[in-house]
Structure 1
Amino acid sequence: MMRRVKTLSKQDILLILTIAGVIVGVVGGGLLRYLNPNEEVRKFIGFPGELFMNMLKAMILPLIVASLISVGWDHVRKTGEKSCAILCPHHSSCSPGLIIFCIVMGIVISRLGKQARPLAKFFMALDAVITRMVLIVMWFGPIGIPSLIACKMLEVYDLMATAQTLAMFILTVVLGLAIQCFVTLPLIYFIGTRQNPYVFLRGLGQAVLTALGTSSSAASLPVTFRCLEELGVDSRVTKFVLPVGAMVNMDGTALYEATASIFIAQLNGMDLSFGQVLTVSITATLASIGAASIPSAGLVTMMIVLTALGLPVNDISLIIAIDWFL
């Protein structure tokens, strides 16, 4: 038994503690509803969660800046001017000022070569430091998450209606991800190669299971490399595409953040126009690029999307309760 415990990775332990925190928050919040605590007691209960949220908020700006500048520099450095021409139009037409500035700055740093190499190394190091800091902050989750959930349960008037709404949210996200994985991506593969995409997907089974188990695209990279090598994909392609894709190609995160933002807007009685839904979709896509390829980092960038809509970021506590599952 002790040997099995020792083989658990830090990510496994964090996931177990997070799930335990969710259970404690739900049970504790349900029991506290019967006691009907006053406002001061509610603030005391929610204080650890508020600290946790403030730490997450503090990560937003450095995470976005360091990640996007590093991606812009590394992408152009490895692929040259052609990729610069591809990357820039994709973002420049609709991105917020900060995101476009960071991407362009990374590209310019790459074009300057040796002259700007110290600055490039600084942002690469900063990206690594911020990623580690996000991981450290996430270890406070098992303390902050029960506080947030319990406090939110005390504020919710109709608990059963909220639970039903959350169930519909989970169903919507899972359905969206299923369409992306089994319809959209295979269709793109078929159009590009004229081959059966599901045979290719079958060869990636171990990589998919690793990604599901670790909730991290970065952690599954070594397995993905091996799977693609066995499928006969050129190693020169995989060595470039996979690391960049682990940082930039966050389709699931973008879908999840957009759906969560619309869900929170509906909870607050806000009817979104077509323009606002479009804004949410674009902002979620761009914000997901800056999401570190570690578990639950999307919760940090989700705050950017909520801020763009003028929605309270504290409502993320409802999403945290089910984030470990999605």
Structure 2
Amino acid sequence: MPKQVEVRMHESQLEPVEARPQNKCAKICAALSKNLLLTLTVLGVVMGAVSGMLLRVASPIHPDIIMVIAFPGDILMRMLKMLILPLIISSLITGLAGLDAKSSGRLGSRAMVYYMSTTIIAAILGVILVIVIHPGDPKLKENLGEGIKNDDVSSLDAAFDLIRNLFPENLVQACFQQIQTVTTKVEVIVEEAVNATSVDGLVANITKEPQIIIKRALQYKSGMNVLGLIGFFIAFGICMGKMGERAKLMLEFFNILNEIVMKIVIMIMWYSPFGIACLICGKIISIDDLETVARQLGMYMVTVIIGLLIHGAIFLPGIYFAIVRKNPFTFFMGIFQAWITALGTASSAGTLPVTFRCLEENLGIDKRVTRFVLPVGATINMDGTALYEAVAAIFIAQMNGIYLDPGQIITVSLTATLASVGAASIPSAGLVTMLLILTAVGLPTQDISLLVAVDWLLDRFRTSVNVMGDSYGAAIVYHLSKAELDELDATTAKSDDIEMSKTQSSYYDDIKNHQENNSNQ
């Protein structure tokens, strides 16, 4: 008997030793299978970049072949943008309908304070870095040449366009068009009473210079008016929440719509690694003179990327840790799928479905917070864009040998903050709003075209920072509002219990009355 015990003990000691490698392999396989989609997405980004670089070494590739390579990426962008409209509608309505007016107001105010604070910090950081590093050199202008002339855009017109788009006159039209002020220059010869019989009068009529008059007109341009849709459906969701039980059927409809959209998102996510790889590969192949551009604008790119890294890896996690008191890098791993998708697609609106999934499923953020904060943040919270625009404006001034006084630098910071709010959540939207900043401080707007060659890369970095800012903001707002949401849930549960008890008591009263009637009969 003792020998058997010894044998058993010996076998029990051997089993863990033999099983240890198997357990490790099982854990690794389980982790890979759990994070398989994330692993494939990262591999897609890496493979796309490596394939693009290798194909650039080959002889010039035919444009049709480049189009075929990039085509799956174009399909991915189309599928993601296809979901923006139903996702914004369903998320805003269901998120706000679950809140009372007081809670939604506090959520909105906290989100806006966070958005404006981080955007101002990003713009100031960009100004400081570009002044310290000083990437601009007048010799660059000789190498890059003159840019393409752009029409000047008035800051007042841009502000009014922002307000006009917030209140669309047609909701159906807002799904595919937004309004924009267009200026045209018209030459007008002013007639004056000049004595044409004299020689001086004839010379005056011949040499008279025409006056240039700027005429403004409102035109609709293609592109979803996300700001107007968000404004309407915020009001729709709040009003529906006030209706209570009468709007219950409508609320269930939008809840089911949101669940359907998220299931479609999961399906698209399994295609995204291949689409992102083709998107990046096609973009790298299609760029002309990549090495020359990198050599000429290298310091400008380094300045922007350093600023984005500091803001995304230090400032945003630091604000999150200071308020929430949790590990920000653990949180970042929860949103890594959204971050890598933003890096591949360069569209914060296109990444919105993935951001919803990461915050709600991976990190457990309340859906009422994410469905309200994320759509608004994807539209107006553009930290990376504000930093990029501040750097680009002062870089253009340095490249032209123009000295900006402290007042003009402050103007650049404030205008970059406000212009980033109006920037659409689509690829390369920052180049459009750059016109406002350059016009505000009197810099040549045609030099924007010189930065287009490297914007495809910087756009990906700043979009990923924009998505990080939205995600950290949702977590901070949820932390600050958690007590109110719990109290609201408790109040709702209590009222439901009272309503149920009333229903049950009335049910029992009906049974009692029915029994009494039967006994009397």
TM-score normalised over the length of structure 2: 0.38
TM-fit CA distance, 1:318: 1.4
Q: 2:378 aligns with which of 238, 243, 246?
A: 246
* Residues in 1 aligned to 2:368 and 2:457: alpha-carbon distance in whole angstroms: 34
Report SS of the residue matched to 1:8. helix
Aligned length: 229
Cα RMSD, aligned residues only: 4.1
Residue in 2 aligned with 1:211? 342
Q: 2:170 aligns with which of 107, 122, 127?
A: 122
Q: 1:8 aligns with which of 73, 77, 83?
A: 73
Report SS of the residue matched to 1:182. helix
* Residues in 2 aligned to 1:85 and 1:8: alpha-carbon distance in whole angstroms: 37
Query: Can you list the C-alpha shifts for 1:100-152, whole angstroms capped at 9, x where unaligned?
Result: 66677788xxxxxxxxxxx545378447403994669xxxxxxxxx9xx99xx
| Residue identity in the other structure for 1:207 | A
Report SS of the residue matched to 1:276. helix
Residue in 1 aligned with 2:455? 323
* Residues in 2 aligned to 1:81 and 1:124: alpha-carbon distance in whole angstroms: 30
Q: 2:413 aligns with which of 246, 269, 281?
A: 281
In structure 2, do the counterparts of structure 1 residues 101 and 12 end up closer, same or farther at CA, with 3 Å as the change threshold? closer
Q: 1:291 aligns with which of 418, 423, 426?
A: 423
Q: Which has the higher contact order (CA 8 A, sep 6+)?
A: 2
| Residue identity in the other structure for 1:7 | P
Residue in 2 aligned with 1:184? 315
Structure 1, unaligned stretches of length 5 or more?
14-74, 108-118, 137-145, 151-159
Residue in 2 aligned with 1:18? none
Pairing of 1:136-175 with structure 2 (within 5 A):
164=295, 166-175=297-306
TM-fit CA distance, 1:309: 1.6
TM-fit CA distance, 1:256: 0.4
* Residues in 1 aligned to 2:383 and 2:324: alpha-carbon distance in whole angstroms: 21
TM-fit CA distance, 1:85: 10
Residue in 2 aligned with 1:263? 395
Larger radius of gyration: 2
Structure 2, unaligned stretches of length 5 or more?
1-64, 79-95, 118-154, 180-219, 225-285, 459-521
In structure 2, do the counterparts of structure 1 residues 124 and 181 end up closer, same or farther at CA, with 3 Å as the change threshold? farther
In structure 2, do the counterparts of structure 1 residues 121 and 79 end up closer, same or farther at CA, with 3 Å as the change threshold? farther
In structure 2, do the counterparts of structure 1 residues 83 and 209 end up closer, same or farther at CA, with 3 Å as the change threshold? closer
TM-fit CA distance, 1:166: 1.4
> Do the aligned residues in 2 keep the contact of 1:215 with 1:294 (CA within 8 Å)?
yes
In structure 2, do the counterparts of structure 1 residues 99 and 314 end up closer, same or farther at CA, with 3 Å as the change threshold? closer
> Do the aligned residues in 2 keep the contact of 1:280 with 1:305 (CA within 8 Å)?
yes
Q: 2:436 aligns with which of 278, 282, 304?
A: 304
Query: Can you list the C-alpha shifts for 1:249-282, whole angstroms capped at 9, x where unaligned?
Result: 0000010011000000111111112221111011
Residue in 2 aligned with 1:196? 327
In structure 2, do the counterparts of structure 1 residues 103 and 233 end up closer, same or farther at CA, with 3 Å as the change threshold? same
Residue in 2 aligned with 1:72? none
State which drifts further: 119-128 or 293-302. Answer: 119-128
> Do the aligned residues in 2 keep the contact of 1:99 with 1:286 (CA within 8 Å)?
no
In structure 2, do the counterparts of structure 1 residues 289 and 11 end up closer, same or farther at CA, with 3 Å as the change threshold? farther
TM-fit CA distance, 1:9: 1.9
> Do the aligned residues in 1 keep the contact of 2:77 with 2:350 (CA within 8 Å)?
no
Query: Can you list the C-alpha shifts for 1:13-35, whole angstroms capped at 9, x where unaligned?
Result: 9xxxxxxxxxxxxxxxxxxxxxx
> Do the aligned residues in 1 keep the contact of 2:176 with 2:222 (CA within 8 Å)?
no
Q: 1:237 aligns with which of 353, 362, 369?
A: 369
> Do the aligned residues in 1 keep the contact of 2:177 with 2:223 (CA within 8 Å)?
no
* Residues in 2 aligned to 1:269 and 1:282: alpha-carbon distance in whole angstroms: 22
From the two aligned structures, give the one with the greater strand fraction: 2
Pairing of 1:57-136 with structure 2 (within 5 A):
79-80=104-105, 83=108, 97=156, 120-122=168-170, 125-126=173-174, 128-130=176-178, 133=221
Identity rate, percent: 48
